[in-house]
Chain A
Amino acid sequence: MNIAWQTSVGKALSNRSFFIGLIITGAIALAALVSFVWTPYPVGAFDIAGKLKPPSATHWLGTDHFGRDILSMIMIGSRNSIAVAFISVAIGAGIGVPLGLWGAASGSFVDEVLVRFNDLVFAFPALLSAVMITAVFGPGTINAIVAIGIFNIPVFARVARAAALSLWPREFVIAASAVGKSTARITLDHILPNVAPLLIVQGTIQFSLGILAEAGLSYVGLGSQPPMPSWGRMLFEAQTMISIAPHMALFPGLAIVITVLGLNLLGDGLRDVLDPKFE
């Protein structure tokens, strides 16, 4: 176990995608953490005299139409993006993985129903779920989480099911069932640990998609509401100022691109390292 882990870690760090991805993701996570104790300026502080200022030594990324420091807002906004993406991945994996494993373990009818259920949920992109939820309950961060979380369920169910299906006919699983282990026991002891690497890779991908989806939802007003800074919302506010203050649109967008890029590189790297198919 330890040796296996050491080899994996060594292999991971020598993988270029993984390494770059890890550094970018780590830096974003660090910025989010630091924002809890320190930001260059308080984001609630309006400074109308200093509004719409381009990047300078005092405000590295400039100020917005209320004179708020854009770097500080991006730092605080990262918490929102990360939290929404993380919880939606947790919802998707928490429900999808058991469903997928169950389908693979029980086969035939249950499996068929689950596959069809997956197809059905796939027809509701996060945006459409969010539209429906918002129409009924009004806008808010929770909507975004629920909508993206629902969309993640079939994704995880599919990955878990496909991987589990390929494991069930393997000898070590047949041996476990020969010694009398129950289906549930085998799933927990033998299937899940072997499926886990794939799920981690998928989790990284869904995390990055979650960041993109959250930005889109808060951009159109279906996600986080002001005064809570969020990257999507910042871009929405930047839109009307684009001719006089293009920096307002530039930096929150770059924050999204860099975060998503980092997570995608991390995911690609993890796949190379964890997925035996790619060895």
Chain B
Amino acid sequence: MLSYFAKRTMIGILTLLAASIIVFAVLEVVPGDPARLMLGMNATDDAVRALQEQMGLNQPLLLRYLSWLGGLLGGDLGRSYTYSVPVFDLITERVAVSLPLALASLAMSTLIAIPVGMFTASNRGKLSDTATMGIAQIGVAIPSFWFALLLVYVFAVTLRLLPAGGFPGWNAGLGAGLKSLILPSIALALPQAAILARITRSALLDVLGEDYIRTARAKGLSKRQILYRHALRNALIPVLTILGLQFAFLLAGTIIIENVFYLPGLGRLVFQAITQRDLIVVEGVVMLLVATVIIVNLLVDLSYAIVDPRLRSQQ
């Protein structure tokens, strides 16, 4: 089990390194002169030179990459050109909005999807199964940002129950902060739940067809016992895999949803940075999100070994 953990972790670290090279190459090497790109064509040569100096662009490429990487590891992502503050500070401030949003919708979609998947799998072929899966089929096709607009129209514009957008900040109290995250997390969670429910159902159906399930039934175990004790545990592997893969989409969705609700999260930060050509902020946010995706998938892989003891002995 240890060697599985070690090997998988090693691969994760290498993937992170490779990803950092890609991000660095696209945002600092491809533009040719990032300082010129950031300042625009009308900038004076002096201004460009000053920014080049500040960004350390005069150093050799390899040295620049290594010092950027070293900075990343120490939590130093450079200084934002437009905000004149460390990018790290900007990001931590915005993560306080994005992370609760992403986690809330992840939790919500899982809590909806797994029971729905179990219910439909155990009622396979019945009307309730067909109807629920029909709804899920439509749910998969719904873009979360459009669903968000509909929610705003119903709950904010028409019923006036919840805010249509904006974020009062956590200082305004937990309740007010959470209230402004309700609609965004529902908008993100329901389409995700539809995907996950379909996966859970088909994973459960695969497992329920296995011989040991028949054995369990022959032994006289109840349907419920079989579902919880034998089927669900084995069906969790594909569900976990998809959860991990979906996480990248969830982050992307979070960034988009923040724009619908004018939430001051990472998404707003990165889109503003694009319009202001603040490449350093873009670089920091993209690297953070890519690293998150890689680490989450690593954790999912490692958790296989915990869910499935068979994997521990394998290489």
Contacts and interface: CB of A to CB of B under 8 A. Distances in A.
Given A120-B18, A134-B274, A135-B273, A128 B252 contact: yes
Contact of B286 (A128, A220, A257): A128
B81 to A, nearest CB: 12
Interface of A: 116, 119-120, 122-128, 131-136, 208, 212, 215-216, 219-222, 235, 238-239, 242-243, 246, 249-250, 252-253, 256-258, 260-261, 264-265
A260 B143 CA distance: 10
A221 B255 CA distance: 13
30 contacts: A116-B15, A119-B297, A120-B19, A120-B22, A122-B293, A123-B248, A123-B294, A127-B256, A131-B270, A132-B26, A134-B274, A135-B279, A135-B282, A136-B37, A136-B279, A212-B143, A216-B143, A219-B143, A220-B267, A220-B271, A238-B149, A239-B149, A242-B153, A243-B153, A246-B157, A249-B149, A252-B146, A257-B142, A261-B138, A264-B137
Given A120-B19, A215-B143, A220-B259, A125 B138 contact: no
A50 B14 CA distance: 59
A253 B282 contact: no
A119 B248 CA distance: 12
A261 B141 CA distance: 5
B146 A122 contact: no
Q: Is the interface of A mostly helix, strand, loop or mixed?
A: helix
Interface in B6-62: 11, 14-15, 18-19, 22-23, 26-27, 30-31, 37
Given A208-B141, A235-B149, A246-B157, 6 more contacts: A122-B245, A125-B248, A132-B286, A135-B279, A222-B274, A253-B149
B152 interface: yes
Contact of B293 (A125, A221, A250, A264): A125
B271 A257 contact: no
A272 B96 CA distance: 45
Contacts of B270: 131
A120 B137 contact: no
Interface in B102-161: 137-138, 140-143, 145-146, 149-150, 152-153, 157
Contacts of B157: 242-243, 246
B260 interface: yes
A133 B279 CA distance: 11
A7 B208 CA distance: 31
B289 interface: yes
Nearest to B30: A136
Contacts of A246: 153, 157
Interface in B264-289: 267, 270-271, 273-274, 277, 279, 282, 285-286, 289
Nearest to B279: A135
A249 B157 CA distance: 13
Nearest to B18: A120
B95 interface: no
Nearest to B262: A239
A154 to B, nearest CB: 11
Nearest to A265: B137
B101 interface: no
B248 A256 contact: no
Interface string B152-195: 11000100000000000000000000000000000000000000
Contacts of A235: 145-146, 149
A164 B290 CA distance: 30
Nearest to A17: B137
Contact of B290 (A124, A135, A242, A249): A124
A119 B137 contact: no
Contacts of B27: 132, 135-136
B146 A119 contact: no
A225 to B, nearest CB: 13
Nearest to A213: B252
Contacts of B282: 131-132, 135
Contacts of A125: 248-249, 251-252, 293
Contacts of A222: 274
A120 B13 CA distance: 11
A253 B256 contact: no
B279 A257 contact: no
A207 to B, nearest CB: 12
A179 to B, nearest CB: 35
B141 A264 contact: yes
Contact of B153 (A127, A220, A249, A256): A249
A208 to B, nearest CB: 7
A258 B137 CA distance: 11
Contacts of A256: 141, 143, 146
B210 to A, nearest CB: 16
A219 B146 CA distance: 10
A133 B30 CA distance: 10
B15 A119 contact: yes
Contacts of B245: 122
Nearest to B251: A125
